[in-house]
Structure 1
Amino acid sequence: MASMSVQTERADTAAAAGIRKSDASPPGVGRDGENRGKSRGGAAVPYLLLLPALAATAVLLGWPLVKNGMLSFQNLNPRQLILHLTEWNGIDNYKEVLTGSDFWKVVGRSLVFTAVNVVLTMLLGTLIGLLLARLGKRMRLTLMLGLVLAWAMPVVAATTVYQWLFAQRFGVVNWVLDKLGWHSMADYNWFGSQLSTFSVVTLLIVWGSIPFVAINLYAATTTIPKELYEAAALDGAGAWQSFTSVTFPFLRPFLWSTTFLEVIWIFKAFTQVFAMNAGGPDRLTETLPVYAFVEGVGNQHFGMGAAISFLTILILLALTAYYLRTVLKQEEDEL
């Protein structure tokens, strides 16, 4: 009897297990299947949201870039434009540009010009950003208002103001220097030499670029926990040690990204250089964007100008690749 009862219980248990198995849903069906379907649908949502931006980028940037690349392989001058001719000349434009000495002089000049402006912008912007973090509320608001107004000023308007300030006969700068005792500067022509022209352009670009660096750096300093400064003070750290051990490590990613953006913006700066003195005197202050415009539109060698602009893009891509490689290497070292 006991054995029969045990067998009966086993049979009932097996039957119950069979019922549970029969009630179970096959793979991919039921809650798990629904969750996987929802997860796949949710994963596609970000890409669908990116489609309008990608389409606009392809139309507004991609097609002009393709068109510029096609023009760089053509002999396009006023004759071809008037007669609606398309004359392909292969890589002759690139050969003429790369084998000429003028292009490499402009490249070197552009790199030096960019380096000087970026260093001054980052140095002064960082100092002003740290000053904003130390000022009181009213002084901080006043300084930030001035920075925003300088940042919001149109580039052409700012360039015009600087032309007035540094005018030879009626400029305020020459008048102030004359009153301070430098009488030889009373009628000094700031746009008569390469160095003085670049000095004025650099002052203009740095003045317009500092607000972006300073305001964003101040915003970055607000994310640093105050407890870290308190711990550093308890350890006997001074102001410089607190900066190197607490502030700078937090600001390093911001400084890298901002420096990269400033390199791009300053390297491709056109309006300030061209509107100030049109690349003069004697084309000695032409940077790559101005050089491409003068050769392409000014001298009506449109194929040549397209080739120079395409080479400028390649140089920017090389700088971008170097930046990304440096950032990835730093992340690997931190890990």
Structure 2
Amino acid sequence: MSTVRERSVPREAARRRPATPAGSPRGPGGAGRGTPWPYLLIAPAVLGMLYLLLYPLGRALLISVQDFRLRQLILGDAEFVGLRNYRTLLGDPEFWEVVRRTFVFMAVCVLAIMVLSTLVALMTERLGRVARTVVLSSLVLVWAVPVVAATTVFQWLFHSEFGIVNETLTGLGLDSYEGYTWFAHGGTAFAIVVVLIVWQSVPFAAITLYSALVTVPAELYESARMDGAGGTRVFRSVTFPLIRPIFMLVLSLEVIWTFKAFVQIWVMTRGGPGEATTILPVYAVQTALSGQRYDLGSAASMLTVLLMSGVLVLYFRQLFRQEGEQL
């Protein structure tokens, strides 16, 4: 009887315990779903981020549908013109030539970046501890170099009179490169810009891919080699399928990086010689500054965003479709 009575006390106390109202705080410290404090704490950061991201985009979109020149910049009496600026750009053959050059530039840079970074990551994985530390440290140092500083160094390297490149080539017996003006020829200027972009991008991609490679279990490599698979077969059948999500993420980031490259080209060539290195971001700035046509420059910027978004949407759509087929 005493045992039954002692066990019944907690049940009766539980019946008399008041029910917790809906939406009241639960858990340790009174934290629960109903309290607004977590949202209030992150609200300043979220609002600041939205302001920094959305306001410039909205402002550029507004200017792109107005007649906005130097007078309107000073007085602020811009007139709404609808899609006139977009029709002007889309009807200009020069704009489509810049679009073609931008996609060629992006394809060359991204292909070189992904191939070189993959090779560097594979090489780093096979090195010893000391050599691997040296390689990774060198990559981090290259990655840490400011963009403008790296661009200035490349300008010095290819200087017509004092550049190390001309001095080296002349010392090797190639006298035709004595005083050669690299930035006066469209092909060589384009190639130098590509080399600069690739040199700045490989460290990030290589370090990221290396971090993915070290997660591949060693047992899979041993099983593949026991089955007689060579290095290429192992990479295609074992390594790449496991690091594919990271590889695709790096690829998408490099597409964005190269598509919006502006500082390197503007500092080095300003889009020249002629228009050999003019891609869409440079074209937008040139259009806005050359004749104070800020409306056309903003329209070019918005078209750049649309084209880049379209490329990424098609890319992710294909990626998700392939992932679905594998699943």
Which of residues 49, 52, 61 in structure 2 aligns to 1:57? 49
Matches of 1:276 and 1:250, distance apart in 2:
40
**Residue 306 of structure 2 is aligned to residue 318 of structure 1:** no
**Residue 79 of structure 2 is aligned to residue 91 of structure 1:** no
Cα shift readout 1:112-159 (whole Å, capped 9, x = no counterpart)? 000000000000011001100001111111111111111100000000
Which of residues 119, 125, 130 in structure 1 aligns to 2:122? 130
Matches of 2:238 and 2:81, distance apart in 1:
58
Partner residue of 1:305?
A: 297
* Secondary structure in 2 matching 1:128: helix
**Residue 138 of structure 2 is aligned to residue 112 of structure 1:** no
Matches of 2:36 and 2:91, distance apart in 1:
49
State the one-letter code of the partner of 2:33. Answer: G
**Residue 66 of structure 2 is aligned to residue 74 of structure 1:** yes
TM-score (norm: length of structure 1): 0.86
Partner residue of 1:278?
A: 270
Which of residues 190, 194, 198 in structure 1 aligns to 2:190? 198
**Residue 208 of structure 2 is aligned to residue 216 of structure 1:** yes
Count of matched residue positions in the alignment of Structure 1 and Structure 2? 314
Partner residue of 2:324?
A: 332
* Identity between Structure 1 and Structure 2 (%): 44
Alpha-carbon offset, residue 57 of structure 1:
2.5
Pick closer, same or farther for the CA change 1:221–1:43 going to 2, 3 Å.
farther
Cα shift readout 1:236-283 (whole Å, capped 9, x = no counterpart)? 222222222211111111111101000001100000111111101123
- For the pair shown, the structure with the greater C-alpha radius of gyration is 1
Cα RMSD (Å) of the superposition?
2.7
Retained in 1: the 8 A contact 2:120–2:206? yes
Partner residue of 2:158?
A: 166
Matches of 1:120 and 1:291, distance apart in 2:
24
Matches of 1:210 and 1:50, distance apart in 2:
35
State the one-letter code of the partner of 1:188. Answer: Y
Matches of 1:53 and 1:276, distance apart in 2:
36
Pick closer, same or farther for the CA change 1:45–1:258 going to 2, 3 Å.
farther
**Residue 264 of structure 2 is aligned to residue 258 of structure 1:** no
Pick closer, same or farther for the CA change 1:42–1:108 going to 2, 3 Å.
farther
Cα shift readout 1:208-244 (whole Å, capped 9, x = no counterpart)? 0000111111111111111111222222222222222
State the one-letter code of the partner of 1:106. Answer: V
Show structure 2 runs of 5+ residues with no match: 1-10
Matches of 1:42 and 1:229, distance apart in 2:
51
State the one-letter code of the partner of 1:236. Answer: G
Matches of 2:119 and 2:78, distance apart in 1:
54
TM-score (norm: length of structure 2): 0.88
* Secondary structure in 2 matching 1:41: coil
* Secondary structure in 1 matching 2:237: helix
Matches of 1:253 and 1:86, distance apart in 2:
47
Matches of 1:254 and 1:298, distance apart in 2:
42
Matches of 1:313 and 1:34, distance apart in 2:
43
Show structure 1 runs of 5+ residues with no match: 1-19
Runs of 4+ in 1 over 6 A off after TM superposition: 33-40, 42-50
State the one-letter code of the partner of 1:81. Answer: L
Partner residue of 2:231?
A: 239
Cα shift readout 1:135-184 (whole Å, capped 9, x = no counterpart)? 11111111111111111000000000000000111111011111112110
State the one-letter code of the partner of 2:276. Answer: L
State the one-letter code of the partner of 1:302. Answer: Y
